[in-house]
Structure 1
């Protein structure tokens, strides 16, 4: 695949197997992302953003590895990602925290991943982010609910890696809304704010009274993960299948896609899951690719690209087509279903 090919037909990647489904902007593939990444030319991707299975002690239904094996396993993906990124590109990874086996002491696996990505693979840590999920249930049960020795773990580490020291980035695309107090200050700076020299001797003048369109966000991202009636969830219910148990909230990839890419840039998710990343990239006008090993997750993720009112028969037909190995053009699928109805 070259970039012109992706622009005109995102379903083609160097003669590889056909995608499970594709849109005018992107495509979802079933398979090992290490193999699929090799179908992309080096220095061609603008952003890889993903949330891999976490290194938990207890096995989850969506798969995870022992903490001691996890780091080497993850670096096998990181090596390929480094080659595929443009010099201005970024690699954003969400890691959940974990405890050591059998004791209320934290594992450092996510920090060891960070150090080895920088020391061994040549990535730079552009910035560390922390995703606070206020809706997260108390866990781990043993140390929080039963013995009441620890508070609930509700913060994930999100590492923003870059290929060079100067990745593409524009924080004006992710400004936060001003507070009511700030809005009053902007309306009448003289009334609400008197500039003073700080203890450090720095004179901030009236710079805070300038309307910049919003405030600069912190690296603590407060985003609840409370998806309960989305297009994807409704599709899963209509077909009678389980939804993916560890889904991105849309606002998380949205933040980084807006800050680190421009329209028509290429965004890749190497652990696609329910393909929140592809849906957000599509809505933001980016080209996208998502890779996921489990066919049932990929088939269900196509519900994100159906019309708002999901017909159970249409959802089942789409799911079955993908599960049985057909490559679905989502635009053609829509037209066909509308004709049949």
Structure 2
């Protein structure tokens, strides 16, 4: 994990040795907010220019079949109940700056997010809660390395019953699609993941059908009853070892950590063991933690030294297996 400005570190330290060698760049950069955060962030046109200037650096580091995965939230116009389009303009500028393709957009729904923008949601009561973020999957190639068979969700009980009885309602649907007699009878080991990701189920009693190889990083619903049609990732950032250790030592933890399950999903989906992963805005280094668990090589970059110090807790988790050198205690 490297300390400093990510653009500077990439230019001065990484590009010479790691050009075209990084398989996945996954990160949650500062959002285009209309007020200053402790870690520093740009606003308006300044933000769009800053964001677009990152694209050539990332593209140069990426393998030809590599991927960039960026999580970013919405922003609102200053002092107005009007949603900004700055995040969309920034995405287009980012893609244009390095001739990147938008492979697919994912939506991350998180009902635990505080009601925002507060002035228009909880004070004046004229807007709905902004409860999701965008995840953009970008690549230089039309065909980045990806395999959705590595992130299959367990079948719903209904699908398991269908496979068992080997029959279902075939024929033409109102949509015009024709469903063959054997189209859904093969057991493929699970269902293909959807591009709507939940951090808590929309229906409280619905099963969290998370890919089997990601369950190590999240806590699943203990009382599943209803089938899910989306990827449900338990929102466990406040109950993981890192967070507990910060509370124990009365340390103010990073305020906007990426979800471990989200990073694990894309790591499994888009990389293989020993591939190289980079998080240019590492924060408390969830990406490094997940990469280490999944036997990927990794770099993280973070400008706030206190968050780097905190990140050591992740690798001191009991029973955490790693080849890293002995870590110092805080």
Q: CA deviation at 1:235?
A: 2.2
Deviation at 1:143, TM superposition (A): 0.6
How large is the RMSD of aligned CA atoms in angstroms? 1.9
Is residue 133–residue 222 contact of structure 1 (8 Å, CA) maintained in 2?
yes
* Preserved CA contact (<8 Å) 1:50 1:272: yes
2:154 equivalent in structure 1: 177
Q: What are the within-5 Å matches in structure 2 for residues 25-36 of structure 1?
A: 28-36=1-9
Q: Report the CA distance shift for 1:333/1:101 in structure 2 as closer, same or farther (over 3 A).
A: closer
- Aligned match of 2:42 in 65, 83, 86? 65
SS at 1:86 equivalent = strand
| Counterpart Cα distance in 2 of 1:332 and 1:249 | 26
Is the Cα–Cα contact under 8 Å of residues 62 and 245 in structure 1 kept in the other structure? Answer: no
In structure 2, C-alpha distance between the alignment counterparts of 1:216 and 1:48, rounded to whole Å = 23
Aligned mates of 2:95, 2:327 — CA distance in 1: 44
Query: Aligned to 2:291, which of 278, 281, 296?
Result: 281
Residue 239 of structure 1, CA deviation: 2.8
Runs of 4+ in 1 over 4 A off after TM superposition: none
In structure 2, list runs of 5 or more residues that go unmatched: 201-234
Q: How does 1:1-341 map to 2 (within 5 A)?
A: 28-38=1-11, 39-40=13-14, 41-190=18-167, 193-199=168-174, 200=176, 202-224=178-200, 225-308=235-318, 331-333=325-327
Give the secondary structure class of the aligned counterpart of 2:25.
strand
Deviation of 1:57 (Å): 1.0
- Distance in 2, matches of 1:110 and 1:164, equals 23
Aligned positions, number = 288
Taking the aligned partners of 2:7 and 2:27, their CA distance within structure 1 comes to 14
For 2:106 and 2:44, how far apart are their aligned partners in 1? 22
TM-score by length of 2: 0.83
User: Structure 1 residue 281: deviation in Å?
Assistant: 0.9
CA-to-partner distance for each residue in 1:214-241, whole Å, 9 max, x for gaps?
1111111112434222111122123321
Residue-by-residue CA offset, 1:210-265 (whole Å, 9 max, x unaligned): 11111111111112434222111122123321000001110111111111100000
Say which SS state the counterpart of residue 56 (structure 2) adopts.
helix
Could you tell me whether the CA contact under 8 Å between 1:135 and 1:226 is conserved in 2? no
Paired with 1:161 and 1:65, the residues of 2 have a C-alpha distance of 22
Which has the larger displacement, 278-287 or 37-46? 37-46
In structure 2, how many angstroms separate the alpha carbons of the residues matched to 1:173 and 1:74? Answer: 31
**Cα 1:309/1:201, change in 2 over 3 Å:** closer
- Rg bigger for which structure? 1
Q: CA contact under 8 A between 1:97 and 1:110: conserved in structure 2?
A: yes
Aligned to 1:271, what secondary structure does the other structure show?
A: coil
Structure 1 gaps of 5+ residues are 1-27, 311-328
CA distance in 2, matches of 1:75, 1:300: 30
Spell out, residue by residue over 1:163-219, the C-alpha distance to the aligned partner (whole angstroms, 9 max, x if none).
Answer: 1111100011111121111111111123xx132223425243321121111111111
Task: Quote how far apart the aligned CAs of 1:305 are.
Answer: 0.0
Contact 2:55 2:97 in 1 (8 A): no
Alignment CA distance shift 1:128-1:333 (3 Å): closer
1:133, 1:154 within 8 Å by CA — same for their partners in 2? yes
The alpha carbon displacement at 1:309 in A equals 8.9
Residues in 2 aligned to 1:272 and 1:57: alpha-carbon distance in whole angstroms:
22
